[in-house]
Structure 1
């Protein structure tokens, strides 16, 4: 096969309508500002060949909007959903920090691989589903040869993909602190596919 480069944009959802809560897989709406943020962030994205999205409304609403503009069908994946925070999901973030019950949210952020969220997702499972989606996506690029794709997802998912691209240790929590992705933050990754079909992604600044 001939070598080629595919550009992939990662777009985090905009501001949610209920700011201040821990929003994992709770299906909250975007605020009016959030909608505006996403439209501004994607205004210069042209000639998209494919759109992938989390099915949660704070991602899917804009994905559907862009799909109509580009005459595309959105490909939704549950693997692109945010981390499932279980009993903490949807709770006021500051109140969670004030709780004294164990496990504490501070314990989780410091040691996410060792501390399990009550009735939530294990970090190992989250890593596995994001990694599996990323590998499947890279394989699909070899077949589709899309020049430009857009992935609309959440901060946790995008940070995890960046950690994989940067080859950070699997059980490291470094990416949670060193990567800051604001509402409607747009990240660009170029994926070079060589003659053997091997994918070589790199972050573009």
Structure 2
């Protein structure tokens, strides 16, 4: 049986600029965001199916990709972004101006110092791990694309690499960045992280 491959694609730039955009803010992609995602994938289509966060900055592109390549697309709410509670929709500068201590405490230890009303990081990591493990168990030998968020990709990395959740935010994940996990004879491994262009896209230029 071939290896199981799961690619994660972060959404492109959303409307509204940089802010704490969790699962409580559902901004669409900008034109730049759409372009970032199409550029990352090119004309390549190595996948058997697409799985998407329900938030429109992911799902709208998933639907368009599925239509272009005649791929099945389904939503999995476990891959929605983490909830930021009282920080939803606010910029770092706004939070710093209102409560610099809270902002710095979060970045020093995001596991223990959550914004008011935010989703617990361990709970978030558990749901992402459940979604990822279900794909690995139910789709052996398949190549899947998950369109999701920076937090989701960090949680997936943390699960695979067995990293402490307190350190997840030290990982950079760009708009339309690509991360791949491979399940084969050596177990589940990280193959690449935060690539700007899908490797298979070079065969379609």
TM over 0.5: yes
Which residue of the partner structure matches residue 165 of structure 1? 160
The number of aligned residues is 191
1:70 and 1:52 map into 2 onto residues whose CA distance is: 14
1:48 offset after TM fit, Å? 1.6
- 1:174 matched to 2:167? The reply is yes
Equivalences for 1:108-187 in 2 at 5 Å? 108-142=106-140, 145-146=141-142, 148-169=143-164, 172-177=165-170, 179-187=171-179
Which residue of the partner structure matches residue 69 of structure 1? 68
- The structure whose residues are more often helix, as a share, is 2
2:189 and 2:47 map into 1 onto residues whose CA distance is: 19
Check conservation: 1:48, 1:70, Cα contact below 8 A.
Answer: no
2:9 counterpart (11, 15, 23): 11
Check conservation: 2:181, 2:191, Cα contact below 8 A.
Answer: yes
Check conservation: 1:55, 1:78, Cα contact below 8 A.
Answer: yes
Check conservation: 2:10, 2:148, Cα contact below 8 A.
Answer: yes
* SS at structure 1 position matched to 2:188: strand
1:44 offset after TM fit, Å? 4.2
1:123 offset after TM fit, Å? 1.2
- Note the aligned Cα RMSD (angstroms): 1.8
Which residue of the partner structure matches residue 191 of structure 1? 183
TM-score by length of 2: 0.86
* SS at structure 2 position matched to 1:157: helix
1:121 offset after TM fit, Å? 0.7
1:101 offset after TM fit, Å? 7.6
1:52 offset after TM fit, Å? 0.5
TM-score by length of 1: 0.86
Which residues of structure 1 form unaligned runs of 5+? Answer: none
Q: For 1:61-98, what per-residue CA distance to the aligned partner results, in whole angstroms no more than 9, with x for missing partners?
A: 11001111221221111110111011110112211122
Change (3 A) 1:151 1:108: same
Q: For 1:146-178, what per-residue CA distance to the aligned partner results, in whole angstroms no more than 9, with x for missing partners?
A: 1x2101000011011011111224xx422311x
2:124 and 2:103 map into 1 onto residues whose CA distance is: 17
Check conservation: 2:125, 2:156, Cα contact below 8 A.
Answer: no
